[in-house]
Structure 1
Amino acid sequence: MGRGTSLKGRARYWFDTTLARGTPALVGWLAVGCLVVVFPVSAVLVWTDPHAPASRSGRLAAVWRLSGETLRLGGATGPLLRVLLSVLLALVALVYVSTLVGLITTGLTERLTALRRGHSTVIEQGHSVVLGWSEQVFTVVSELVAANANQRHGAVAVLADRDKTTMEEALGRKVGTTGRTRLVCRSGPPTDPDLLALTNPGAASAVLVLPHDDPSADPEVVKTLLALRSALDGKESPPVVAAVRDDRYRLAASLAAGTNGIVLESDAITARLIVQSARRPGLSLVYRDLLDFAGDEFYLTFDPALTGRSFGDTLLAYATSSVVGLLRDGRPLLNPPPQTLLGPGDRLIVITRDDDTARLSDCSGLVDESVMTPWQPANARPERVLILGWNRRASLIVDQFGRCAVHGSVIAVVADPKEVTAEQVRDAGTDFAPRLTMTFRPGDVTRPETLRCLEIDSYDSVVVLSPDPVPGEQPDEADNRTLVTLLVLHMLEQESGRELPVVTEMTDDRNRTLAPISPGADVIISGKLIGLLMAQISQNRHLAAVFEELFSLTGSQIHLRPAASYVLPGCEASFATVVAAAQPRGECAIGYRRHDRATAVPDHGVRINPDKNERRRWTDRDEVVVITQD
């Protein structure tokens, strides 16, 4: 048994050694294998053929001819030289045909591979171009598909340094069906002008340059914008919407984008929404409804019949649209004074279902002044905010809180000393002392013993920040830590019997459903927020200034006010009555939130742009969504 195994091993080793000699050895073994099969089978066929020659030499000649025809070796018989020349010609023909087939196959394979990689020029017109690949790409493409739903021939072209098939599969899995919109993927770095030209940006309706997942990659966004300028080669640039994470690169990106470009600073916008949601719980739900194309969003409209009328009069001029501002000389004016007169060149900024649903309909007759509540302005009071965790946006969040802080306000930070030091925390609030006090407690926010001694009930709001990604760390790791922290907070809520006003920051929107918080709580998904903003602005560049003001601290913002401040609790009133009650206070009422549906999915009680004919019984726990200056 051992001897048999040894012989088998030697034979296999010898066979492997011959194969290692390259192509000649492979061809030789292939020829031997063919001859071993072809000659015996041909001999059997000839010897069993009743019409075969009777002589042995004749039968051997027949075997040779049959084998030659099978192997395409000519099969000539006669003198040895004749047979050898026949075999030589057959081998030359075989090499020629094989080489020709190989060349044709290689050429077709390369061509198909090039087409599969997406190296052909897009011939679409009026399409949207998305440059780059990051967490925003799925949100941006989904919203562009929704925006094109009422168009016959819409198209979105995506260029990224990824395999074309991989991009198509990922988009198909997360975006789903695209309806009438054609999705085109092209593979290559967007920083290469030649490859960028494949997307035909000169004929596009808008170009969107996505921010990179890595904050240190903002220079790539600037380089992509420069490549776009080079690809256009002096042609007029389409509207460009780009986003950077670090404000140090916003100026450079704006210069590279040109006069038709708009550059968003994603970290600053995210920080502002976190602060606004901490001060006005439920606000993120309002923005989510306003920013996606599935519901009501901002549009521009005007009717000549409104010329000469005051802005306050227009608030009740549309039954199914909410007026929030006007566009004058290309500059948006959000929530202008009610007495502002409308000129012939002005256009109204409205929230409505679609660009053709804003129709005049006088609703002043629906107002019931008997149920209106007298205005009682609220006084500002000190805030107590608890921040759990620290990341690159934390200092921006402290800055936003500090700018409107009242004397006696406190921000307490609990974070791992590896993420931030006490000195860095104090420096973040130095500009707002003494009205704002900063405290720091080192600790692991995922451990119950760290949070038990914080007296969480004493804080007006709790902000849970995701840690910055660590090189080599899995993308979900930051959200995993956030989920653990939320579990601990949920345990403390159950122990105290009080629901904590928590604002949570996450990276992946899929983790929202896993978070142990109330369904209507504020969860800020920075990537999705920026993606929604970019998609909205790409369809109407004038909205950039509108969103800039909404997310600022000095202009008009979205607020959630108690419904009892506008109508008497327990009384039935139309939404037109709420709009009329808000108008003298310099506010534009655009919706409400029902307290009895605060945890109901998917709207969580938020109703944006309700019909002004809609009547309901208002409770003291309902809230009205208004746009006003704080």
Structure 2
Amino acid sequence: MGQRRTLFGDRARYWFDSTLARGAPALVGWMALVCLAVVVPASAVLVWTDPHAPAPLIDRLAAVWRLTGETLRLGGTTGTPLRVLLSVLLALVALLYVSTLVGLITTALTERLTALRRGRSTVLEQGHAVVLGWSEQVFTVVSELVAAGANQRRAAVAVLADRDKTAMEEALNTKVGSVGRTRLICRSGPTTDPAVLTLTSPATAGVVLVLPRDEPDADAELVKTLLALRTALAGEGERPAVVAAVRDDRYRLAACLAAGPGGVVLESDTVTARLIVQAARRPGLSLVHQELLDFAGDEFYLIAAPALAGRPFGDALLSYPTSSVVGLMREGTPLLNPSPQTPMVPGDLLVVISRDDDTAWPGDCADLVDKTAIASGPSTPERPERVLLLGWNRRAPLIVDQLRRRARPGSAVDVVTDGDEATVRQVLETDAHTGTGLTLTLHRGDVTRPETLRRLDVHSYDSVIVLGQDPAPGPPADDPDNRTLVTLLLLRQLEEAGGRELPVVTELIDDRNRALAPIGPGADVIISGKLIGLLMAQISQNRHLAAVFEELFSADGAGVRLRPAGDYVLPGRETSFATVVAAARHRGECAIGYRSHADSSTPPGYGMRINPPKAERRRWTAEDEVVVVGTD
């Protein structure tokens, strides 16, 4: 076979590439040749076109050399070859020195800018909030901390996570938006290293929040972070308040010990399960939780009421025109919905729901009560419940346990899940502990297939709970909410076919999927990460509220309930909300709001009104509901 003829241009290009591959010396040589190829001809043209240039050729060549030397900073000395050589040598030494100095300065500046970009400088703030870790909760927590500090003259939030500082800042700016006067500071590094934790100045912080991650080893790493924080604060004076959350209750004791005295550790899975069950038993209750936990609405506050000392607690319910009283804080212990005859003693604090801490002003509202409009009949009796549980995850046993605690005899829970052996074993183990008041039945099937749901009489259930999958360990794969969205779409089809709305409670992992969910307006959606983030932010502003929320969300204590309005006021009568409060007081409850049936499909509140003024008047219907703090 004959050899293929190679073009001269290809050979020249190949030879040039080969010389460059020899390293820096070849590159320097080529740069010198290119510079001389440009500077020497240009210098010659300047000399030959100069009318004052010397006539002899040797003098003109010397002028060309001087101009070339000045241009390339090579001196340009003329004379004997030795003088020219020494001039070039000195110029090269000077060039090497200046280049090296410029390189060192450039390198130092680059390293400093890189360190600043990586977030390695110490935060110099006082009373700021420190957020340790990165998860979906970080956006909720930072947003709420910004909202809480909106009225402060100077507020700062420092976030430390083992991520790139620029990436964190971009993500927070995108999802949190404007932070107003609050300074948002990001620092990069592992949260389990005490030396790195000092970058956030935790000793001078007002509160430290440790975020849980949704990974198998998240709780163990959270305990390690708390231990690192304790080491970083060793020898310091007053420690900041610490708020953390674990997934598994087995790690709560260790986390509490690591957090130290005064630290608050939440159980995220237990709280989520309680809220799901409460919403399943009373549709619309998730709207109340959202309002109470969000800084944008009405929140819990602790206020002093020395004028009420010695009087019964029932008098306090109608003593605040624009705030709702729900309990007492006595020596650090919350008493939610105590008996109206409970005497208040000096030092008691009132637990109230108010727009702000300065809007809870006293005023007698007893004259607003219309006693003729108060219903006197018995309360609507509770009946056995049938719950359909679609899907299974690590929170499902907790949900079944919460349903068992409040189950009326004859109640039933039907679980529909795939045939995975581990899942079936968990269901059977949960069934063994449900007790006699609740029947647990397993139905095997894929909840994302239409035939599985068609076999069930979904309209016969009092509530339908749709659970998402647990995120798989390792790198993120499919969105765990994908299957949930498919199931909701099939349930929506069954709603349209049956002409009836299903009481569906949905658990989602990612808040961004809330807008994609094919559900009706005002439906109950539990975003587990968002709710825990809201709860942590609330407690970070007043750690005494941790005991209040623990009681409020517990299965056996006084919690938020939705009752038929006909149990409190006569349907069709127009009366004030103070009348509802008085009626609830007679039943041993604290009324904090209502839900209007006529506005249940109207955003943004979907008929839910929390903490209305006592003087607000409206015409009540049998379909309306009253929001109370009470027991079952």
Counterpart among 398, 416, 419 of residue 414 in structure 1 = 416
> Shift of residue 296 of structure 1?
0.5
1:200-239 aligned within 5 A: 200-235=201-236, 236-239=238-241
Equivalent residue, structure 2, for 1:108 = 109
Q: Deviations over 1:129-179 (max 9, x none)?
A: 111110000000000010011110111111111111111111111111111
Q: Deviations over 1:375-428 (max 9, x none)?
A: 413433222111111111111111111122222221111112238543321211
Deviates more, 1:378-387 or 1:338-347: 378-387
1:161-176 aligned within 5 A: 161-176=162-177
Deviates more, 1:593-602 or 1:374-383: 374-383
Whole-Å Cα distance in 2 between the matches of residues 477 and 224 of structure 1? 28
1:292 lines up with 2:294 in the alignment: yes
Equivalent residue, structure 2, for 1:506 = 508
* Contact 1:324-1:351 within 8 A present in 2 as well: yes
Counterpart among 574, 577, 582 of residue 575 in structure 1 = 577
Equivalent residue, structure 1, for 2:470 = 468
Unaligned runs of 5+ in 2: none
1:188-267 aligned within 5 A: 188-235=189-236, 236-267=238-269
Equivalent residue, structure 1, for 2:128 = 127
Relative to structure 1, the CA distance from residue 143 to residue 476 in structure 2 (aligned partners, 3 Å threshold; closer, same or farther) is farther
Kindly report the root-mean-square deviation, in angstroms, between the aligned alpha carbons of the 2 structures: 1.4
Q: What amino acid does structure 2 have at the position aligned with 1:129?
A: V
Whole-Å Cα distance in 1 between the matches of residues 26 and 587 of structure 2? 92
Partner SS state of residue 192, structure 2: coil
Equivalent residue, structure 1, for 2:320 = 318
Q: What amino acid does structure 2 have at the position aligned with 1:339?
A: Q
> Shift of residue 604 of structure 1?
1.1
Q: What amino acid does structure 1 have at the position aligned with 2:333?
A: R
Q: Deviations over 1:24-75 (max 9, x none)?
A: 1111111111111111111111111111111111111111111111110111
1:392 lines up with 2:394 in the alignment: yes
Equivalent residue, structure 2, for 1:601 = 603
Whole-Å Cα distance in 2 between the matches of residues 282 and 220 of structure 1? 36
Whole-Å Cα distance in 1 between the matches of residues 488 and 195 of structure 2? 48
Whole-Å Cα distance in 2 between the matches of residues 599 and 429 of structure 1? 37
Equivalent residue, structure 2, for 1:590 = 592
Whole-Å Cα distance in 2 between the matches of residues 622 and 190 of structure 1? 49
Q: What amino acid does structure 2 have at the position aligned with 1:250?
A: R
Equivalent residue, structure 1, for 2:358 = 356
Whole-Å Cα distance in 2 between the matches of residues 475 and 318 of structure 1? 52
Whole-Å Cα distance in 2 between the matches of residues 408 and 422 of structure 1? 23
1:346 lines up with 2:348 in the alignment: yes
Whole-Å Cα distance in 1 between the matches of residues 73 and 371 of structure 2? 101
Q: Deviations over 1:334-366 (max 9, x none)?
A: 111111111111110100011111101100000
* Contact 2:130-2:159 within 8 A present in 1 as well: yes
Q: Deviations over 1:184-234 (max 9, x none)?
A: 111111111111011111111111000012142211111111111111123
Counterpart among 280, 283, 306 of residue 304 in structure 1 = 306
> Shift of residue 451 of structure 1?
0.3
Deviates more, 1:219-228 or 1:300-309: 300-309
Deviates more, 1:229-238 or 1:36-45: 229-238
* Contact 1:385-1:460 within 8 A present in 2 as well: yes
* Contact 2:328-2:351 within 8 A present in 1 as well: yes
Deviates more, 1:229-238 or 1:258-267: 229-238
Whole-Å Cα distance in 1 between the matches of residues 5 and 482 of structure 2? 59
Whole-Å Cα distance in 1 between the matches of residues 423 and 308 of structure 2? 58
> Shift of residue 127 of structure 1?
0.7
Q: Deviations over 1:248-286 (max 9, x none)?
A: 211111000001200001011101111110001001100
Relative to structure 1, the CA distance from residue 258 to residue 526 in structure 2 (aligned partners, 3 Å threshold; closer, same or farther) is same
Whole-Å Cα distance in 2 between the matches of residues 50 and 442 of structure 1? 102
* Contact 1:402-1:429 within 8 A present in 2 as well: no
Whole-Å Cα distance in 1 between the matches of residues 429 and 380 of structure 2? 31
Whole-Å Cα distance in 2 between the matches of residues 111 and 303 of structure 1? 55
Whole-Å Cα distance in 1 between the matches of residues 312 and 206 of structure 2? 35
Q: Deviations over 1:301-343 (max 9, x none)?
A: 1232111111100000000000011111111111111111111
Whole-Å Cα distance in 2 between the matches of residues 10 and 471 of structure 1? 55
* Contact 1:215-1:245 within 8 A present in 2 as well: no
* Contact 2:511-2:527 within 8 A present in 1 as well: yes
Q: What amino acid does structure 1 have at the position aligned with 2:390?
A: L
1:330 lines up with 2:343 in the alignment: no
Equivalent residue, structure 2, for 1:517 = 519
* Contact 1:211-1:245 within 8 A present in 2 as well: yes
Relative to structure 1, the CA distance from residue 490 to residue 301 in structure 2 (aligned partners, 3 Å threshold; closer, same or farther) is same
1:154 lines up with 2:159 in the alignment: no
Relative to structure 1, the CA distance from residue 421 to residue 147 in structure 2 (aligned partners, 3 Å threshold; closer, same or farther) is closer
* Contact 2:305-2:348 within 8 A present in 1 as well: no
Whole-Å Cα distance in 2 between the matches of residues 115 and 9 of structure 1? 47
Q: Deviations over 1:453-505 (max 9, x none)?
A: 11111111100001111245646621121111101000001111111000000
Relative to structure 1, the CA distance from residue 266 to residue 475 in structure 2 (aligned partners, 3 Å threshold; closer, same or farther) is farther
Whole-Å Cα distance in 2 between the matches of residues 175 and 185 of structure 1? 14
* Contact 1:429-1:436 within 8 A present in 2 as well: no
* Contact 2:214-2:471 within 8 A present in 1 as well: no
Whole-Å Cα distance in 2 between the matches of residues 419 and 599 of structure 1? 42
Equivalent residue, structure 2, for 1:43 = 44
Q: What is the count of residue pairs matched by the alignment?
A: 629
Whole-Å Cα distance in 1 between the matches of residues 5 and 537 of structure 2? 73
Equivalent residue, structure 1, for 2:498 = 496
* Contact 1:426-1:439 within 8 A present in 2 as well: no
Q: Deviations over 1:522-580 (max 9, x none)?
A: 00000100000000000001110111111111110100111111111111010000000
Q: What amino acid does structure 2 have at the position aligned with 1:411?
A: V
Whole-Å Cα distance in 2 between the matches of residues 416 and 473 of structure 1? 24
1:430 lines up with 2:427 in the alignment: no
Whole-Å Cα distance in 2 between the matches of residues 38 and 301 of structure 1? 84
Whole-Å Cα distance in 1 between the matches of residues 425 and 145 of structure 2? 45
Equivalent residue, structure 2, for 1:448 = 450
Aligned-pair identity (%)? 71
Unaligned runs of 5+ in 1: none
> Shift of residue 595 of structure 1?
1.0
* Contact 2:328-2:335 within 8 A present in 1 as well: yes
> Shift of residue 438 of structure 1?
1.6
Partner SS state of residue 63, structure 2: helix
Q: What amino acid does structure 2 have at the position aligned with 1:10?
A: R
1:130-149 aligned within 5 A: 130-149=131-150
Equivalent residue, structure 1, for 2:181 = 180
